[in-house]
Amino acid sequence: MLSQQILNGLVSGSVYALFSLGFTLIFGVQKLLNFAHGATFMAGAFIAYYCTISGLPFLLAIGFSMLATGLIALLIDLIAFRTLRNRGNAEFPALVSSIGVDLILVSIAQQVSKTQVLNFPFGTFPIKFYNILGLRISLLQIVILVLVAVLVAALIFYLKKTTFGRQVRAVATNERAAALLGVNAQSVYLQTFFIAGALAGLAGVLIGLLFNSIQFLMGEPYMLRAFVVVVIGGLGSVQGAIVASLLLGVTQSLAVAYLPSGLTDAIIFGLLFLVLLVRPNGLFGDINAVAGGTRQ
């Protein structure tokens, strides 16, 4: 029972990591909190659902959803962030602006779905279960774990080993100094928003599949958990977001299995307070920067 719950928690934590990485990436580069990220997550599930019921093969529906949510994230940057960012001291105005965009996207989804809970058609993803070392694991859970591991590894490689990654870390460290070196900060912002949006969209699809439930408010609780993740992991730390996501997923799964219902959120925020008491900058606060670099 314990091992099974830990496995379930790792699966949930993997999706949290996929969702939280985009949120962390934007904060690490721009020092801004994008509270429209949850709506992007929700939009990914909606787009994949409507593509699937329209007859598009599911893999193509996922790809189209990631592309669409990446473009939605670009629009969020252009509409809610760029003008404020150019004026300087944009932290609070950008926060309010992103909340406004979130409400707009949620309202659109509410009207489109007529407030109904949507479900992927039966057979959208094969329903298969395996017994491995005494644990019962579904094919979907295996795919989620492998897919998230590959994407996280690819993102870390991209940030650490490519020219774009060096530009991201340069802008995250000091935008003015990066500009003097010829780095186009606006291009970096657009690319990070696109990556963050695509990851959030994929996370929305995976959650929609995992629980077979899609509704217009599905992004809000995940947005709250993503905030907990980035604070526990260390604001701007990619490694911290991954570790904190897995920790949160396992903690939540164990709390649901062994504690009275209704205490899950209390346990999660209690964990947040405990970590902040011991490590005020988060678990990885000493390397609190994108891809583990040192922020000046």
Residues 64/77, Cβ–Cβ less than 8 Å:
no
Widest distance between CA atoms in the chain: 58
Instruction: Categorize the per-residue pLDDT at 290 as very low, low, confident or very high, splitting at 50, 70 and 90.
Output: low
Residues in Cβ contact with 7 at an 8 Å cutoff, skipping those fewer than 6 apart: 135, 137, 141
Q: In this predicted structure, what is the pLDDT of residue 270? A: 86
Q: In this predicted structure, what is the pLDDT of residue 288? A: 41
The predicted-structure confidence for 86-144, as pLDDT tens digits, reads as follows 776 667 788 888 899 999 999 999 999 999 999 999 888 988 999 888 888 999 999 99
Q: In this predicted structure, what is the pLDDT of residue 89? A: 64
Q: What percentage of residues in the chain have a pLDDT greater than 90?
A: 45
pTM of the model: 0.89
Burial code (b: 16+ CB inside 10 Å, e: under 16) for 198-221 equals bbbbbbbbbbbbbeeebbbebbbe
- Mean pLDDT, the chain, integer: 87
Residues 205/48, Cβ–Cβ less than 8 Å:
yes
Q: With a cut of 80, say whether residue 289 has pLDDT above it.
A: no
Q: With a cut of 50, say whether residue 296 has pLDDT above it.
A: no
Q: What percentage of residues in the chain have a pLDDT greater than 70?
A: 95
Residues in Cβ contact with 229 at an 8 Å cutoff, skipping those fewer than 6 apart: 16, 17, 20, 23, 24, 241, 244, 245, 248
